[in-house]
Structure 1
Amino acid sequence: MRFLASLLALLLVPLLAAALLVAAALQAAPLVSREATISPASVAEARGLLARNDPRQLRRGDERTALIPATLIDEALNHLASRNLRGRGAFVLVHDAAEVSFSVAAPGVPGPRYLNLRMLLKTVDGLPRVASASIGALPIPSALAEWLIASAIDHSGLDGDWRLARQAFRRLLFASPSGMVVVSYVWDPGLLDRARAMVFSPPQMVRIEAAQRSLVSLLESYPPRSHVPLATILAPLLARSAEHAPAQDRAALLVLAAYLSERSLSTLLPQASGWPRPRQVNLTLMGRSDSAQHFAISAALAAWAGEPAANAIGVYKEIDDSRGGSGFSFGDLAADRAGTRFGELVAADSPRLQHALRSGLGDADVAPSLAGLPEYLSEAEFKRRYGGTGSAAYRRLMTEIEGRLDALPLYR
């Protein structure tokens, strides 16, 4: 009997230890609690950062230093955590270090329980190192944290990409007074090739080429420069096989967005330079070519990058237009939101969308009426009427747009 008791104790000790570790790791409240949004200001920062470090203007071996706003990294990290982990993330500079935090709801655990991860990064000889880390109330040795990060990179199949990035990387500095992360690097064109390969796998390239050829075929039946309702193109373009259905639809939206933005796909995918090009016709939505463009680009963004990115880019574009372009347009924002919600249905492989595609689509099925929505507002006029995008007046108008969308059966 004593032997059995001792054996039972030996078996229970590791189980109790594991239970205590789980209890210490899980917490009742999230460490990071925020909305899964991207601000128009971050879109502007990202655009400026890309313009200053345009890979098309760099040659192999060029040495560059990029100043990356910590707020941009923070929103990008939160977006990735929201989209890929169904959690939240945060990045903040603390003196000469950076704190990275994640919160993910623990699945299958009674009550609200969160897995909270916190890491403090410092630079050693110009390289980022883990100074401290914890999961919940459980501290993790720095060496173990770095081993876990290396193992995650290895198991994700990104070890080759990581090695290439490390070879290009020279020095990193957390400049908290300026709110910047300073990255010095030596350009290697292989970085851009690897980035494309990460986003566009060989099967995806096959789907994108197939979608391009489908668009070419669809538009051949219309006279050049003729006006063609966008809705009449959407359904046949999104026709697909049962296998890989959402992925094929995403490819179709990407091709359509590139066509309507009047940018060649070869700018993004060099292989596309040898593909046939669609005939130039004037695709319209609610009788307007600009609405078709806004709808298609937002749909592709939502399907590929998610709703927050699509919304932020749409608002940023209107703010930018108010400063010297065609002016701020709530009509354009309505087309953006319609495209975003359409792209979300595509990404979710919505049965409601598939039924609508089989039944036939018209403009009024995919976009709301634009009647009465203020347009062509200069920056001064926009500020006079609405103050900014956070004002009550602005929110009321956006609520009206959402209400018009909610009234459409496709978006209910």
Structure 2
Amino acid sequence: MLKRLLITFFSVFILAILLFFVISSAEKIQPRSLVSNDVLLSQQVLSDTLAQLRNNSGHIELVFKQPELDALMNVASYALPGARFDGVINRYGVALSGHAPLLSTGRTVRVACLLLLDNNRFSINRCQLGKLPVPGMLANWLLRWTLRNVVASPADEQLLSLFAKGRLDDEQLSFIDKQASPIVLNLQPALYNPVALLQTDVALAPDVMFYLKQLDQLQRQYPRERRLAFFALNVLNTAHQRRDRNSNDNTISTYHNAAWALIVAFGNRKFIHYANAAITINKVPKFGPALLSGRHDLAQHFLYSAAIKLISSAQLSTQIGNLKELMDAAAGGSGFSFVDLAADRAGIAFATQLDSLQHANLPLYNSISFEQAIIPHLHDLPEGLTEQQLELQYGGHDGVGFKQLERDIMARIAALPLYRSTLATSADAM
């Protein structure tokens, strides 16, 4: 029996090693270039597509040309650092590929698929995972399985039906349905709560409603108060007092509950889906706009970046913030703003440091000093830069000057009182 188990184990082990080398390679990933117009065009394509799906008046006609696909591939490649996405549309089919690092192995993996019109039905003809061929039947099954597990019914089946109607004409890909019902895209409920994907029943912020009610009371008590720092300081102090009274809750930090309440109240009420999917949006009190450094847009940058960090990662939040600024740098936009970028990074730092802050010092702050503790001075940071100015003055979004100013912003954030005390305490403990 033991001999049979050992043979089985080593057989599986050897097969796993062989599979690893079959699907991966030592090939270097060549980065794609990105310009502001890519971000602008991608945003326009996505918003127009979603609007037409939702309000189609019985007729859907989505048309994608090569420049639009190139823009989407460039943005996707930038949003996932180290990865590269490519796509080609011609009269014969659509070729899509993705190339990404394979964890920390030093190797990369490439996935490529060919989409064709077969028997008057658009579908995935075949795919390739590294050197391993993937039959079209399996690839199409994976597409159906993914859609049904990501998109809530009935939109999943509607999208699959629309996808099958794809046509290739004059080197453009179109999806036309002349008898379409509105397609409202909603995620499956489990996806609003990433923790649920780990098969637990724990919400990201189970007690968020308590803090939302606290914020609502503060808003009613101080109707002219709009400073985000005022509301943040009050709810964090409340969280600190509650944690002192109830030190047995080691599952979810009370500070995360308070932070999510701020994000939902003054960022976007729809974030309640991620904070606690059991709470419907109509239960969230309505709040007026909040200000950070005297500006509403900076409060939004701060809160949205904090939310994306809490849902996903600091890296993704950083990339999304950069993409937003690159879009603003396009012709007709408000211009690239390092001030906005600093607010993004400050929000990420706030979300990252929630558990390690010196919360015992919170009562020592007032609204003015607390704002100075969560966002650096911004007055000397450039704003309103066109893409050409960004390129000439800083070498573009990947230039030496850009990276240097980014490092300067991060150094300012690391020196903020709320984080500096944390770092000092950590150093003393070493």
Aligned length: 380
Question: Following TM superposition, by how much is the alpha carbon of 1:366 offset from its aligned partner in structure 2, in angstroms?
Answer: 1.8
Question: Following TM superposition, by how much is the alpha carbon of 1:256 offset from its aligned partner in structure 2, in angstroms?
Answer: 3.8
SS in 2 for 1:402: helix
Percent same amino acid among aligned pairs?
21
Name the structure 2 match of 1:234: 232
Name the structure 1 match of 2:116: 122
Name the structure 2 match of 1:135: 129
Deviations 1:275-308 (A, max 9, x none): 4323x4x743345444333322333344446324
1:191 aligns with 2:184: yes
CA distance in 1, matches of 2:271, 2:12: 56
- Which piece of structure 1 moves more, 310-319 or 371-380? 371-380
CA distance in 2, matches of 1:106, 1:376: 38
Change (3 A) 1:78 1:378: closer
1:200 aligns with 2:192: yes
Question: Following TM superposition, by how much is the alpha carbon of 1:135 offset from its aligned partner in structure 2, in angstroms?
Answer: 2.8
Deviations 1:25-54 (A, max 9, x none): 24342575659x986544422432244342
Change (3 A) 1:289 1:152: closer
Structure 2 unaligned residues grouped into runs of 5+: 197-202, 244-248, 424-430
Change (3 A) 1:359 1:124: farther
Normalising by structure 1, what TM-score?
Answer: 0.68
CA distance in 1, matches of 2:301, 2:188: 25
Residues 2-151 of structure 1 mapped to structure 2, 5 A cutoff: 18=15, 21-22=18-19, 24-29=21-26, 32=29, 34=31, 40-53=36-49, 54=51, 58-59=55-56, 61-67=58-64, 69-75=68-74, 78=77, 88=83, 90-93=85-88, 95=90, 96-103=93-100, 105=102, 112-124=106-118, 127-150=121-144
- Alignment equivalent of 1:351, drawn from 341, 351, 355: 355
Is the 1:302–1:310 contact (alpha carbons within 8 Å) kept by the matching residues of 2?
no
CA distance in 2, matches of 1:61, 1:207: 43
- Alignment equivalent of 1:312, drawn from 315, 318, 322: 322
Name the structure 2 match of 1:225: 224
Is the 1:74–1:91 contact (alpha carbons within 8 Å) kept by the matching residues of 2?
yes
Change (3 A) 1:319 1:60: same
SS in 2 for 1:374: coil
SS in 2 for 1:123: strand
Question: Following TM superposition, by how much is the alpha carbon of 1:315 offset from its aligned partner in structure 2, in angstroms?
Answer: 0.9
The residue type equivalent to 2:73 in the other structure is D
The residue type equivalent to 1:218 in the other structure is L
Is the 1:295–1:339 contact (alpha carbons within 8 Å) kept by the matching residues of 2?
yes
Name the structure 2 match of 1:167: 161
The residue type equivalent to 1:339 in the other structure is G
CA distance in 2, matches of 1:11, 1:136: 26
Is the 1:130–1:145 contact (alpha carbons within 8 Å) kept by the matching residues of 2?
yes
Name the structure 1 match of 2:428: none
- Which piece of structure 1 moves more, 147-156 or 289-298? 147-156
Is the 1:218–1:233 contact (alpha carbons within 8 Å) kept by the matching residues of 2?
yes
Question: Following TM superposition, by how much is the alpha carbon of 1:369 offset from its aligned partner in structure 2, in angstroms?
Answer: 1.4
CA distance in 1, matches of 2:8, 2:188: 50
Is the 1:331–1:374 contact (alpha carbons within 8 Å) kept by the matching residues of 2?
yes
Normalising by structure 2, what TM-score?
Answer: 0.66
Change (3 A) 1:218 1:75: farther
Question: Following TM superposition, by how much is the alpha carbon of 1:407 offset from its aligned partner in structure 2, in angstroms?
Answer: 3.1
The residue type equivalent to 1:44 in the other structure is L
Name the structure 1 match of 2:427: none
1:398 aligns with 2:406: yes
Is the 1:42–1:75 contact (alpha carbons within 8 Å) kept by the matching residues of 2?
yes
Is the 1:30–1:116 contact (alpha carbons within 8 Å) kept by the matching residues of 2?
no
The residue type equivalent to 1:400 in the other structure is D
Name the structure 2 match of 1:365: 373
Question: Following TM superposition, by how much is the alpha carbon of 1:335 offset from its aligned partner in structure 2, in angstroms?
Answer: 1.8
CA distance in 1, matches of 2:168, 2:266: 37
Change (3 A) 1:13 1:210: closer
CA distance in 2, matches of 1:333, 1:316: 11
The residue type equivalent to 2:88 in the other structure is L
1:298 aligns with 2:298: no
CA distance in 2, matches of 1:382, 1:135: 39
CA distance in 2, matches of 1:389, 1:20: 39
Change (3 A) 1:143 1:356: same
